[in-house]
Structures are given as structure tokens and as C-alpha cells.
Structure 1
Amino acid sequence: MKFRIEWTYRVPKGKEVVFFSDEMPVEVAIEIAEDLERTGRVKKLRFEDQFDSSWTLKEVKAYLKEIETEPHHLSVYFDGGYERTSGDAGLGCVVYYKQNGKLFRRRTNTKLDGLISNNEAEYAALYFCLQELEVMEVRRQLVTFIGDSRIVINGMEGEWPLEEDKLGSWVKRIREKMNSMGIQDEYQLTPRKSNAEADKLATQALKGISIASTSEILD
């Protein structure tokens, strides 16, 4: 989750001015807030999350401690493969995350039928990733979704109009799922070669090879 900081700064002659920060990761927000307090001139300091809820510094610290035992710092790679002749799609999902001070990688895939295009397969892959995050009990977290589909990335960011009605229905389903999970989403478009893990999982799913594994990433 990202936070904005609002603080009231008191100058030596008693005048006050209110400042607002941009959104930043929780660890950075805490570090900056503590540094501001050391100046001795902060009269009031509070945090706002992406849901416009207000937090104190004590509450934000408690939140940071709490999420250490849950999956956090989530980066999710997704990819969808499509066979035009059969209408089958292979969906690949790779989740990198931290938990209890360790770094993990979760790899999963699945096969769907009845889709109409490769673009739909890409949206289905993103939705499949949300289902995996739900299994992991991810709640109220900032998640970075990474894929090589410009259609999906720009579509989810609202930068491109959706010409296919079916794609619009996927966007609605994805948004509803994210809202129910309290997920704050951000996106990165990556070259296909940098999305090789998710692409391989999607290809394996089309071949009937099911993958579901979680492993710790060691230094």
C-alpha cells in the first residue's frame, strides 16, 4: 500500500503552513515522517491511503509490522496464449513477493476454452493472477502487474478505448475483483523476452502441463 503524508509545519515565529506529499511506499513514508518529526517543527502529521482513510504514524508502523507476516511487495507477471483453431487459451502467472523477511516466487498456470482472441486470453491471464492472489489471501496491498500486452496494460490504465465488448466485460470483472480485495494496481509494460516465465507457463498450459509451485529465492 502507498501513503500520502500531510503535515502542518510551524515556523519559529509561530506561522504555520500545510504540506502534502505524493504517494509513496509505506517504508519510505515512515522514514520521511520520522525525519520531519525530528525537526521539532511539525505540529500535526497524518497519513492517507489510496482509500482516503486517515492513519497516524503509530498506526502505519503497526501496519508495516503486520504485513511482514503476509505476502507483500508483490510483482505479478502475466501472459495468455491462444489457439485460434480450438479457442483454447493457456494462462501463466508468476508472483514475486516478500513474507517474513524472505523472497518467494509462485508459479501457476491454467487452461481455458471458449475464448475468441489472443487479447481476451491476455485479460483472462490477468484475472487468473487475481484469483491466485486471492488464494494467497492478499488484501489491501499495492500490486505491480507486469505484462507484454499493450492492449491490456493501456486498457487497464484507461488510455485506450476497448473496441471489443468482450474485453470491456473482462475489465469490469477485473476491477470488481480488485475492489473486493482492496488491491491498488499499477502496471508495467515489458518486452516479451522479459516475460518469458509467464509465457512458458501459458504455453505449458496449452499442452496440458499443469504447474503450481512456490519456492524461496535465495541470495
Structure 2
Amino acid sequence: MKITIELTYKTPKKTEAFFKSEEMAVGEALLIAEDLERSGRAHHITFVDNYDTTWKMKDLRKYLTGLEKEPHNLTVYFDGGFEIENRKSGLGCAIYYEQNGKSMRLRKNAKVEELATNNEAEYAALYLAIQELEMLDVKNLPVTFSGDSQVVIKQLNEEWPTMDDVLLNWAERIDEKLEQMGITPSFELITRKDNREADRLATQALNGVEVTSTIDRHEKRGQ
């Protein structure tokens, strides 16, 4: 969730002005608001989220405390591979998130046989990632989805039309699922190099290597 800070600033000579910040993360907004409050010159501090809901500082603190227990600050990488010779597809996704003060990474892949093209495999990999988010009980949060498929990213960003009925069906399924979960998506086009983790997972799936893992990234680095 992104929010803006709204407040009235009052000088020692009682001159007043209304200020509204740019959008920022909840934690950043609280830090700034608390600092302004300590100055003694900021009054009527409120916060407004992207759904135009107004929050008081105490309510936002409670929200942030509860949020720490749930997955948040989510970035998803996805990739799909397709072997035209045997019409098999490999799907891969890596989900990075924070929970209970830890930096977590979930990796998942799958091998499927009912798909017909590489573009369809890319859409299916994204849908696999969304299903994993659902299993994590991710709801009502912004999520960044990163992939190297221009077709998928540009179609979901409505930069390209979706003319193919099969891909249109996938796009509609994805939109419906995200809306059902209350997820506000950002679709980001990245290079194949930057997407190598998801690409490797998709390739492993095609080679019959199944991956399902969740780790604390800090613990892994400490080993």
C-alpha cells in the first residue's frame, strides 16, 4: 500500500499552510510524520491511501504492526519455456518478500503438457506465481511482477492489443484472480539476464527437476 501525508504546518507566528506529500511506503510515511510531529509545527496529520481511505497515525501504526506478520514488499519473477518438438512447457517463478522482519524467497516450477506456444507458457508461469501468492495468503497489497516476455508485459500493461483468443483468456484469468485477491499489480519488463533465476527454474522443469523451496535469504548468506 502506498500513502500520502496531509498536514497543516503552523509557524511560530501562527502562519498556516496545507501540505500534501508524494506517495510513499507506509513505513517511510510514519517516520516522516513522527519527525514532523516532534517539531511541534505540524498539525492535523492524516494519511490517505490509494483507495482514498483516510488513516490516523495510531491506526497506521497498528496496520504496520500487523503487516509485519504477513508477506509484504513483494516482487515476483516469472518465466515460461516451450519445447516445440514435444510440446512440453516449463514454468518457473521466484517470489521475494518480507515477513516477520525476515527477507524471504520462494521458488516454484512446474512441467505441463497442455500448452501450445511459448507465449502461452509465459502467461501460465505468471498464473503459477499468482497461485503461489494466494497460498501465501497475500491480499490487498501492491505486487511487482517482472518478466522478460514483451508480449505478456506489454499486453497486461495495455500497450499492445491481445488479439489471440487463447492469450486473451489467460490475461482475463489473471486480471480476475488479481482483482479477487485485491492485488494492485505493476508489470515490469526486464532483460533475460535479470530474469535468469526464473528462466533456470523453467528449464529445470523441462528437464524433469521439480523445485519447491522457501528460504530466509539472510540465513542462507550466513551459512
TM-score (norm 1): 0.90
Segments of structure 2 that go 5 or more residues without pairing to the other structure are: none
What corresponds to 2:191 in structure 1?
191
Q: Which deviates the most, 19-28 or 56-65? A: 19-28
How far apart are the structure 2 equivalents of 1:166 and 1:20?
Answer: 45
Aligned residues: 219
1:205 to 2:169 alignment = no
**Correspondence 1:163 to 2:163:** yes
| Counterpart-to-counterpart distance in 2, 1:157 and 1:42 | 39
Q: 1:17 to 1:120 in 2, by over 3 A?
A: farther
Mark the CA change 1:36 to 1:149 in structure 2 (over 3 Å): closer, same or farther. same
1:135 is displaced (CA, Å) by 0.6
- Verify the 8 A CA contact 1:50 1:184 in the aligned structure 2: no
Residues 39/161 of structure 1: CA separation in 2 closer, same or farther (3 Å cut): farther
Match of 1:51 in 2: 51
Supply the distance in 1 between the matched residues of 2:15 and 2:95 (Cα, whole angstroms).
Answer: 49
Aligned to 2:79: 79
Bigger shift: residues 10-19 or 159-168: 10-19
Q: Which residue of 1 is the match for residue 60 of structure 2?
A: 60
The structural deviation recorded for 1:83 is: 2.0
1:4 is displaced (CA, Å) by 2.1
Q: Which whole-Å CA distance do the structure 2 matches of 1:173 and 1:47 have between them?
A: 33
Q: What are the Cα deviations for residues 62-113 of structure 1, in whole angstroms up to 9, with x where unaligned?
A: 1111121221221111001112234332110111111121112111011233
CA contact (8 A) 1:140 1:181 kept: yes
Partner of 2:175: 175
Letter in structure 2 aligned against 1:147: G
Rounded Cα–Cα distance in structure 2 between residues aligned with 1:64 and 1:163: 42
CA distance in 2, matches of 1:21, 1:87: 52
Query: What amino acid is aligned across from residue 53 of structure 2 in structure 1?
Result: S
1:148: Cα distance to partner? 1.1
Q: Which residue of 2 aligns with 1:114?
A: 114
Aligned residue identity for 1:190: I
Shift of 1:58: 1.2
* 158 and 9 in structure 1: CA distance in 2 versus 1, 3 angstrom threshold: farther
Shift of 1:16: 4.3
Q: CA deviation at 1:13?
A: 5.7
Q: 1:18 to 1:159 in 2, by over 3 A?
A: farther
The verdict on how the C-alpha distance between 1:18 and 1:165 changes in structure 2, with shifts beyond 3 A counting, is farther
* Mapping 1:138-157, distance limit 5 Å: 138-157=138-157
The residue aligned with 1:94 is 94
The whole-number CA distance in structure 2 between the counterparts of 1:173 and 1:16 is 50
Change in Cα spacing, 1:80 to 1:12, as seen in structure 2 (3 Å) is same
Structure 2 CA distance for aligned equivalents of residues 170 and 51 of structure 1? 27
| Separation in structure 1 between the aligned mates of residue 7 and residue 167 of structure 2, nearest angstrom | 42
Query: TM-score normalised to the size of structure 2?
Result: 0.88
Q: Aligned with 2:194: secondary structure? A: helix
Within 2, Cα distance between the matches of 1:100 and 1:131?
22
Q: Distance in 1 between matches of 2:161 and 2:20?
A: 33
Instruction: Provide the residue aligned with 1:18 in structure 2.
Output: 18
Separation of aligned partners in 2, 1:44 and 1:214:
43
Stretch moving more, 73-82 or 170-179: 170-179
CA distance in 2, matches of 1:34, 1:207: 53
